[in-house]
Structure 1
Amino acid sequence: MPYNDHGVSIIFVVPKILGQKLGSAEQLVLAELKKLKTGDFDSTLVEKIKSELYRNYLQSMESNSYKGNMFATAFGRYQTIDNLLQYPNKLMAITKADIVNIAQKYYGDNYLAFYSKMGFPKKQKIEKPGYKPLAAKKNETSVYAKHFSAIPQTNQKQTFVDFDKDINRISVSEGLKLNCVKNPVNNVFSLTVNFQVGHKNITELKYAVDAMNYAFPEGSSLDKFKAAIAGSGCTYSILGNESYTTVEITGFDSHFDESVALIGSLMENPSLEQSKVENLYDAEKTNRKLERNEPENVADALLSYVKYGKLSEYIQRLSLSEIKALQAGQLVESFKSVYDYGADIHYVGNLDPEKVAASCKATFKATGAKKVDTPVVMDLNQYAENTVYFVHKKKATQSNIYFFANGPAYNPGNQADIDAFNLYFGGDFSGLVLQEIREYRSMAYRAGAKFVPPLLKGKETYFIGNIGTQADKTIEAITVFDSLVRFMPSKAERTEMIQQYLMLSATSKRPHFRDLSEQITAWQKQGFQTDPVQVKQKAYENLKFDNIEQFYKNNLAKKPVVICIVGDKNQINTKELNKFGKLVFVKESELFSK
């Protein structure tokens, strides 16, 4: 527990939907606890767990936020810092006998078994309070704010990212590029292999990457492979998106070759049981049922439809029948096909880069024979008139609303203006949108807006806004948001605050060393040749309110805006929506594949 209080152990188990009772699931848990109490487990498992926990501790200590929370928790427990920092030593001294003793002491018959069954309880509708919201004192400053502002600030020297000196680039082979970054903190390495193809170009990869997390090298078994992975002190995950297929490995530098070789054996000859594919189908079937139950998910699908039409990821994905028909061998071959494409490898650690390059060359045999454009940035639908898309969601008590407008082609030289506008217009509690809609009028639970830059230079930016509000406040909330878009208030007195925030936040936004090489790659694809802060800092220093107003007038004020609404039409005067643009009703079923 995070406080000076009693502890608690919670074991959560979900029985199989068909054929398993809650009581039998409970007995399975008790049987495993009995093994702990009697010592019926391999002592090597203890060492593997200790290694994993120690690695996790070292990685957590890389974060200043984690350290701050750790110290705050220690304070609440009346724990000294010296005692707190003894955690690694205490952890590594734990024996199998210690675990048996703890299990016998705390996991006896004195426990609460809480059963939760499926049901549909009657919901109590709470009436809205009759009082009016308090009027905020918009132009006044609190005593605390004055005190905080008076605290002298330290002028921290800005350290820019050097694209050439901060990473070591090695061309390993025709298809492999290696980027190495020094780990200045500990001996835990991270290796990220980004194969240059994703499920936008190979549809089955969306499911193949999930399945590969349950695969094992040919001639082995999943349990044996997982045990070998744990024995090497590493962990791995295989994931992907529309642009890339990624393999992530984290472990100790002292076991680098062993860890990478294990993953290499998996990738070279993966074996996958058909039952694991069936599990993926069952999980996807459940996810798709749940996604349409939540209005937020339907709203996200509607926004994707507005942006990309029939090319929306919700429509282009495999149908459930197609997923059910997938075979283990088919997914294995789809995954192995990523070797035909190049790979960018990002290593963070303390080994000789040439040694890392040699190990990667022997393990990841990407040929680069095939090429596709990465990252994938799809072209946006273009709109010539204001339009309102409405999806009826029966009995939805809230309306989920998005606003979309096409923007200009992205130029990294304009990023400072985008930052300033985003902060002024939609910047959390200091931005116009949240203040005017939520704080001053209590019309929404959430509200925000911003211009979104693409991942590639020259591709189109776009404006996105969102509101979550009670159904009966839908028209009123849209009216206020629309007025902000069409007649943005001029509050030039906020310029200094925006300027200071942008300048100060820039000094603290240097990428974490584990993310550095991937971030540099992403910046370069956006068109930056040096640290973006270097490009933007002078613009921040010379920022005038006119920069914000001019950006707004050029890119939003008179642009067609598309409004996406998912809500209950019986609680909304849909005729009123016509004043915001052409009204189009969309069936929910049109937004999703079968």
Structure 2
Amino acid sequence: MKLKLIACVAASALLVIHARAQQKSYQWMAGSTDGIPYRYVSNDPMNTRFYTLKNGLTVILTENKKEPRITAKIAVRAGSNTDPKDHTGLAHYLEHLLFKGTSEMGSTSYAKEKPYLDRIENLYEQYNSTTDTAKRRAIYKEIDQVSGEAAKISIANEYTKLMATMGSQGTNAHTWVEETVYEENIPSTSLNKFLKVQADRFRDPVFRIFHTELEAVYEEKNRTMDNDGWKVMEAMHRNLFPTSNYGQQTTIGTIEHLKNPSLKAIRQYFDKYYVPDNMAIILAGDFNTEAVIKEVNKQFAYMKSSPVTGYEHAPEPEIKGPVVTNILGPSAENVQIGFRGGPEGSREAMMADLLSTILANGKAGLIDLNLNQQQKILSGGAYLRQYKDYGVFDIYATAKQEQSLETVKDLLFEQIDIIKKGNFDDQLLKAIVANYKLDEIRGLSSNDNRASQLMQSFIANKGEGWIKNVSYLQALSKITKKDVVDFANQFFKADNYTVIYKRKGEDKSITKVEKPAITPVATNDNLESDYVKKVNALPATPVKPLWIDYTKAIQKGKAGSAELLYVPNKENELFSLYYRFDMGSWNNKILPIAASYLSYIGTDKNSAEAINKAFYNIACNYAVNVGTENTTITISGLQENFEKAARLFEDLLLNCKADEAALTALKGRLAKARANRKLDKGAIMQGLSSYASYGANNPFNYTLSDEELKNLDSKTLIDALHQLTGYKHTAMYFGPVTMAAISKRIAAFHKVPSAFNDYPRGLTFNRTIQTANQVLFTNYDMVQSEIRWMRNTEAYDPAKELTADVFNNYFGGGMGGVVFQTIRESKALAYSTYALYLTPSKKEDRYSFIAYVGSQADKMKEAIAGMNDLINTLPKSDKSFESAKASLKNDLETDRITNEGILFSYLAAQRKGLNYDIRKTKYEQLGGINFDNIRTFHQQELSGKPYTYCVLGSDKKIKTDDLEKIGQVKTLTLEEIFGY
């Protein structure tokens, strides 16, 4: 009876959402701003306008006044699909070079620099066409020499520093199959400056500092060869697209083509594809649309229309499979099954997307319930990666202990057969519509989400398909179960798929990109072009910063005997309810496992499957997250279903019952997951870092031993769950209901004792103080080496936070920092490198320093020496320092902590012993910080100090003798790192 009641309540809520999705009409409408035509879709919740300038440039604008910032994406419909056959990776090369500046930006004298750049271009043409090894080496030596002379005139990374001065966050770009996209997140007051710089950037790009950037791309290629997931993805594309560039060309390109670049070919590619007919400027955020389109038109009117023929290919032949591929590598084993989907905007694409959600949606999909919930596999899911002409439909899973990948594959196909036979819950389709609606509401507040959706629409069909995006819910709500079954039987055929088995083993096919001889080039980071001075002098209206007054932003009350913190949601009908406990795994090692166990058990009245379905049906969710010192229960979703969701969880937590079969399966899966972590180089490095910071007994390896896990019983776990709300905790609510009303509603169903139990005594981990250099080494089969520097410094003092922030901006926190410019731009030693002085999260902890370089193993000695030079001697650049301060000032002025973020900001301040918003103090004191302050800081905290070096790499490529020159070497076993 209870199950039927839940289903009826859920269905009632779903019918409301279902009806809403069908009430609106969507059609293209037209308008004009000062003669500039635009189109928009009626009832678009983002109110997006698609402008087309006279030269064909697309401008897509969506206003969102939530914060004084704008997400900007400049999208080009060109990627690896459009790379020339003899120059794969070219689009990606070009993406890197578009950060090098123009004839006015990035150079002290372009007239003096240009002869060198022309010479470099011609030398690369010779290099490209030469096969003799000795001659190639001689040509490259000359390239290196001429590049060094050119670099004396250039200013490395001036574009990045200019954007940082404007207040941009996350300056970046990406290249993929059909796209190259340049990304910024700027203050709204910098928009006109931004548009001028971007117009000049694409009008007059200069390809300078090329050979060191080329080496960074080599390093990026090496990283992909160390990434088993990347290799599986490439194999998936190769098998699904045996004739077209979707599968036959990769974004980074082949090693052979990387070794033989052509600057002339890159320029030709730019001239062909970087034209207004093939580009879009996409802005989402705080601006006035009418004013912005006039400014864009003014800045980009110079572009000349040049029609572009998109990538055309012969239709892919029907897959005659299954096509089976084995990928070898050191990481955990898994299996992926791929089907080829239809083009963007087609009904086939929409149906395939729906199929992926029926299979896996995190709660009530077939893989979720039948495989993950029943613990028949370690984990699994499904997704659709959609391109313009095709989709990649991927179903994946990881095996349990003693389970073959072939068995896992069969289990996945059983879920497909269930869909084909129609043996799934009729309510699932309505629930999917409700959850899509929930995601849509959440996504409206995010500038990046808005811009990303619009970018994808432009890449697919220049925005013509936006009406289908806007009306997606309406179309989805009309799909019947019969439609799904019919499509599944047509889509999932007997042999039209590929299977990729990722198996553990040595990949002997890997060819490392050889290290060339590169002489470090000058970066001239203390110089500034006249162009940058002019841009910085342009007027901008400062944004008034907003700080949180916690006494006003948060209302305090009671929910029974529990403290209640309240922040109203004035934007929409979503709620988030939290229960926060000041205890975690350091208080009780079994709490994380108890939280996991809760997902697989039910009550006397409802099974775990029924509970998951009930939550999904009402577009709500719950989570129990156990940290080291805190535990947070989260219940969220549509406010109209608040009480149903909260009572569902309350009933589950207080009335959950033991399930021995579920526990046995959970322990087996945990054992396998723990074993898999030992194969993950990211997890290994995390463990090495924890060992370096805390010693042999540290937070990372504080976990159950294999024996303790084996002996864990249901009663212990169930007791931990049943007793949880008996400990002191704070209730926090963000939603549209008033404080008084929500206090009563929570107190009605959230039963707590009149006096809380004391927390179990928590373990304390103290950071070590390094007294001598030490090297912690762990062997891993990889092309690269990864090095981290770790050092613990002084106890937390809030007065040091500002200095640390400015230092990070200047030294190692981004592409304009000293570390990036020296290690990557000047010396070409790494693709990824950074260094940060970390502020602790609680007043009892210490500040710490971390630096990182990931480079080819044969560059490791040079990389370590390069970072050590910076750690010991801080280079001075007045221009970079002022840029670092300006960037931080802009960040503080435009930072807006809103919604439930206010609650967690308050808790974070409390942990540091603060009762105020420290951002206000930083902003008021920022003007008084000078370079001498951070130089003194650097000398006191970092220079000449001992460090623990965490080194991860292959013992076949890294010599112990080299490590011993750094400090005492300790080779750690995986058991020492992981604690089991």
CA deviation digits over 1:437-474, x for unaligned, max 9? 22211222322111111122253211122222222322
CA contact (8 A) 2:586 2:764 kept: no
Cα deviation, 1:213-246, whole Å, max 9, x if unaligned, reads 2222233212222232233331112221111222
- Over 3 Å counting, the alpha-carbon distance change for 1:359 and 1:3 in structure 2 is same
Aligned to 2:877: 491
Decide which of 114, 123, 130 is 2:499's aligned counterpart. 114
Q: Which amino acid aligns with 1:75?
A: F
1:79 to 464, 467, 481: 464
Question: Would the alpha carbon gap of residues 587 and 223 (structure 1) be closer, same or farther in structure 2, given more than 3 Å must change?
Answer: closer
Q: 1:380 aligns with which of 763, 767, 784?
A: 767
SS of the residue aligned with 1:47?
helix
Counting only pairs closer than 5 Å after superposition, residues 392-431 of structure 1 correspond to structure 2 as: 392-393=778-779, 395-431=781-817
Whether contact under 8 Å (1:160, 1:533) holds in the other structure is yes
SS in 2 for 1:334: helix
Q: Which moved more, 1:245-254 or 1:573-582?
A: 573-582
Moved more, 466-475 or 109-118: 109-118
1:49 to 432, 435, 440: 432
* Alignment-derived partner of residue 370 in structure 1: 757
Task: Tell me the distance in 2 between the aligned counterparts of 1:423 and 1:461.
Answer: 17
**Per the alignment, do residues 358 and 585 of structure 1 end up closer, same or farther by CA in structure 2, a change over 3 Å counting?**
same
Q: Deviations over 1:449-502 (max 9, x none)?
A: 111111222532111222222223222222222221122222233221011100
Give the drift of 1:507.
2.5
1:11 aligned partner: 395
1:47 is displaced (CA, Å) by 1.9
Give TM-score, length-normalised by structure 1.
0.90
Q: Could you tell me which residue of structure 1 aligns to residue 685 of structure 2?
A: 299
Which of residues 546, 554, 557 in structure 2 aligns to 1:170?
A: 557
Mapped to 2, the partners of 1:462 and 1:341 lie a distance apart of 32
Give the AA of the match of 2:524: K
Q: Take 1:496 and 1:74, find their aligned partners in 2: how far apart are those partners?
A: 39
1:350 corresponds, among 723, 732, 736, to 736
Q: 1:110-259 to 2 correspondence within 5 Å?
A: 111-116=496-501, 118=503, 120=505, 121-132=507-518, 135=521, 137-139=523-525, 149=536, 152-174=539-561, 176-259=562-645
Alpha-carbon distance in structure 2 between the residues aligned to 1:450 and 1:86: 45
Counterpart of 1:331 in structure 2 is: 717
Q: 1:337 to 1:148 in 2, by over 3 A?
A: farther
Q: What secondary structure does 1:18 align onto?
A: coil
| Aligned-partner Cα distance in 1 for 2:898–2:553 | 12
SS of structure 1 residue aligned to 2:544: coil
In the aligned structure 2, how far is the partner of 1:246 from the partner of 1:506?
Answer: 28
Report if the CA contact (8 A) 1:160-1:534 is conserved: yes
Superposition deviation, residue 144 in structure 1: 8.5
Contact 1:315/1:593 (<8 A) preserved? yes
- C-alpha change, 1:458 and 1:327, in structure 2 (3 Å) is closer
Go from structure 1 to structure 2 and tell me whether the alpha carbon gap of 1:502 and 1:24 turns closer, same or farther (over 3 Å shift): closer
Counterpart CA distance in 2 for 1:115 and 1:394 is 23
**Match of 1:69, as an amino acid?**
S
Tell me how far 1:135 sits from its aligned partner.
2.7
Tell me which amino acid in the other structure corresponds to 1:112: Y
Asked if the contact 1:237/1:248 (under 8 Å) is kept, the reply is yes
For residues 325-383 of structure 1, what are the alpha-carbon distances to aligned partners after superposition, in whole Å with 9 as ceiling and x for unaligned? 21222211122232232112221110122222223334334446334599987321122
Distance 1:321 1:300, change over 3 A: same
Task: Look at both structures and tell me which one has the larger radius of gyration over its CA atoms.
Answer: 2
Aligned AA for 2:641? Answer: H
Asked if residue 289 in structure 1 is aligned to residue 691 in structure 2, the reply is no
Q: What is the letter of the counterpart of residue 897 of structure 2?
A: P
Residue type at the aligned position of 1:389? V
Residue 168 of structure 1: CA displacement?
Answer: 1.6
Distance 2:392 2:792 in 1: 52
For the pair 1:433 / 2:819, whether they are aligned, the reply is yes
2:834 aligned with 1:451, yes or no?
A: no
Contact 1:375 1:455 in 2 (8 A): no
Give the partner amino acid of 1:505.
D
Specify the SS of the correspondent of 2:586.
coil
- CA distance 1:124–1:518, shift in 2 (3 Å): closer
Query: Residue 403 of structure 2 aligns to which amino acid in structure 1?
Result: L
Partner amino acid for 1:111? N
CA RMSD of aligned residues (A): 3.0
Structure-2-length-normalised TM-score: 0.56
Judge conservation of contact 1:243–1:376 (CA < 8 Å) in 2: no
> Runs of 5+ in structure 2 lacking a partner?
1-343, 345-385
Identity of aligned residues (%): 24
Number of aligned residue pairs: give it. 589
Deviation at 1:123, TM superposition (A): 2.7
Paired amino acid for 1:243 = E
Distance 1:80 1:556 in 2: 54
- What residue ranges of structure 1 are gaps of 5+ in the alignment? none
